[in-house]
Amino acid sequence: MTADRHRDVIVVGAGPAGSAVACHLARSGLDVLLLEKSSFPREKVCGDGLTPRAVQELRTLGIDLDAPGWFPNKGIRLIADGRRLELDWPDAHGLTRTRADLDELLARQAVAAGATLRENTKVTAPLQTRGRVTGVETETATHEARLVIAADGASSRLSVALGLRPSATRPIGIAGRRYFRSPRHDEAHLEIWLDLAPAAYGWIFGMGDGTCNVGVALLRTDHPDYRGLLSRWLTTLPPAWGLTEHNATG
Ligand SMILES: Cc1cc2nc3c(=O)[nH]c(=O)nc-3n(C[C@H](O)[C@H](O)[C@H](O)COP(=O)(O)OP(=O)(O)OC[C@H]3O[C@@H](n4cnc5c(N)ncnc54)[C@H](O)[C@@H]3O)c2cc1C
């Protein structure tokens, strides 16, 4: 095991949270190490929809939103009980972008701000001295810092290793998502279907590149049949939308 130099901050996980915090802290002059277990570009199951507040965060990070690859939306369309309601964002627009692209852009922005990014580097345990977190261990090295930030996602193994547990009073959601070639790829609204099943919803988000991101989310039960829910919902949608196995791209 090698020992890395002492850092100001270690950020575990280069998802949007980790890369954003690494970018801001590096920009303010701190020595930041960003550790990511996978390598970019990498997939992440997501709707790929960004609200205006997220768009504003991207601007603050200095991401070039005029570059190709971003697809704007002007609001959301809610569908339930045979009715539809379109709500436009007030004086702003949202965006869609695949997480494969978005997360890499954000990680590279953190690097441009001065953070050191190590991909393919899985944090295996926290280092602790007298009850205080002083760093982390990876498979091959130890890293110490004044501050360690666990940005390792919803299941945050690092937090669990430190004794934190998810709140029993908060439900866990699970989801399934696919991409389809579809003529609806350039819809101006993010579409959300609210009555697929109790405590479940579906979404159709145009990516502007010939494809739609389509998925369902539901609260976890003992037998969460999210695949069945997605398949059954898709069979009820107009064939002209093209959300069929033949057009599935991912
Ligand atoms: C089905 C679904 C649909 C969603 N749709 C939307 C949407 O349309 N719009 C929206 O804004 N949000 C959406 N979300 C929420 C969004 O995905 C999360 O809010 C977001 O990913 C959280 O970012 P994060 O950086 O905290 O964590 P993550 O994106 O999960 O990133 C965590 C990172 O940590 C890394 N990591 C984990 N463990 C380790 C380790 N031990 N060592 C090193 N690295 C590690 C992972 O590889 C990953 O890169 C959706 C979520 C789901 C599940």
Query: Best of 76, 104, 152, 219 to mutate for ligand 1, by most ligand atoms within 8 A of CB?
Result: 152
**pLDDT tens-digit series, residues 231-240:** 999 999 999 9
Q: Return d(Cα 180, Cα 203) in angstroms, integer.
A: 13
The third-level CATH classification (topology) of the domain covering 2-48+99-161 is FAD/NAD(P)-binding domain (3.50.50)
Q: Number of helices and strands (H, E) in the chain?
A: 5, 16
**pLDDT tens-digit series, residues 41-60:** 999 999 999 999 999 999 99
Residue ranges covered by each domain of the chain: 2-48+99-161, 74-93+171-247
Closest ligand 1 atom, residue 48 Cα: 8
Options 1.10.3680.10, 3.40.640.10, 3.30.360.10, 3.30.9.10; CATH for 74-93+171-247 is 3.30.9.10
| Ligand 1, atom 53, residue with closest C-alpha | 46
- Which backbone phi and psi does 229 adopt, to 5 degrees? -60, -45
pLDDT at residue 171 greater than cutoff 70: yes
pLDDT at residue 166 greater than cutoff 90: no
Helix (H/G/I), strand (E/B), else coil: 140: coil
Burial class (CB in 10 A: 0-12, 13-18, 19+), 173: middle
Ligand 1 pocket by Cβ (under 6 Å): 12-18, 35-38, 44-50, 54, 122-123, 151-153, 157, 175, 177, 215, 217
Q: Sort strands 94-96 and 71-73 into parallel, antiparallel or unpaired.
A: antiparallel
Closest ligand 1 atom, residue 215 Cα: 1
**pLDDT tens-digit series, residues 6-15:** 999 999 999 9
**pLDDT tens-digit series, residues 122-165:** 999 999 999 899 999 999 999 999 999 999 998 899 999 999 98
Closest ligand 1 atom, residue 154 Cα: 30
pLDDT at residue 224 greater than cutoff 80: no
- Which backbone phi and psi does 8 adopt, to 5 degrees? -75, -50
